[in-house]
Amino acid sequence: MNKTAMTASIRVGFCMLAMLCLSVPFAVHASTAAEIDAKVNAALARLKAEVPGSTQVLADAKGVLVFAEVIKAGFVIAGEGGEGALRIGGKTTGYYSIFSGSVGFQAGGQKRDIIMVFLDADALKQFRDSKGWKAGVDGNVTLIDTGASGTIDTATLKKPIVAFMVGQKGLMAGISLDGSKITRLER
């Protein structure tokens, strides 16, 4: 095989791998409303069990957007996606999908729950009124860091939108919601 043919084969292989990595997070989607609600209940239970003080944060929330079992996979090019529900006053008011893609030094896969807590009524209204919402663009989301003591940093709770990532399984470095696209689903 000559050098040009080998380079072309490597590029084709890389493109196929990239497409596979981007499609993995969406292989399991189109859940029913009941399936999403069951996963959301499980994710909220994991949050309460893993993060001391989270029960009070949820009680103070104007709304809680829960994406259970979000899958992220990739090698250099990665994709992340999942489905979830917005709860206000403990009741589901809508279903949403989350998607993000990235390019950079990364490899692996993981599954985790993403729980976004709207502590400000205006931030929740802006989210609900949007046709498509992008974290870091349409609203800043501050990740909660429980730190070495295992307690929530109360200074973070003064932000309009905070997020928890719990139940992480798998290996993949880099935790961020910036650029994640959130879209309302019809269920």
pLDDT tens by residue, 51-104: 888 999 999 999 999 999 988 777 777 788 999 999 999 999 999 999 988 777
Residue appearing with tokens 């950079």: 104
pLDDT > 70 fraction of the chain, expressed in percent and rounded: 67
Query: Which of residues 125 and 18 earns the better pLDDT score?
Result: 125
The token pair that represents 19 in the structure block: 């497409």
Q: What is the pTM of this model?
A: 0.77
56 in the Ramachandran plot: left (φ > 0), alpha (ψ -120 to 50) or beta? alpha
Checking if the pLDDT of 132 tops 70, the result is yes
Mean of per-residue pLDDT scores for the chain: 78
Q: What is the pLDDT of residue 66?
A: 97
The gap between the terminal CA atoms of the chain, to the nearest Å, is 53
- What pLDDT, on the 0 to 100 scale, is given for residue 165? 84
pLDDT band (50, 70, 90) for residue 187: confident
CB burial of residue 102 (10 Å; 0-12, 13-18, 19+): middle
Confidence of residue 172 (pLDDT cuts 50, 70, 90): very low
C-alpha 133/C-alpha 145 separation (Å) is 23
Beta bridge mates, 66: 85, 115
Question: Taking residues 42-55, what's their average pLDDT?
Answer: 91
**What mean pLDDT comes out for the span 150-173?**
72
Which pLDDT score is estimated for 25? Answer: 44
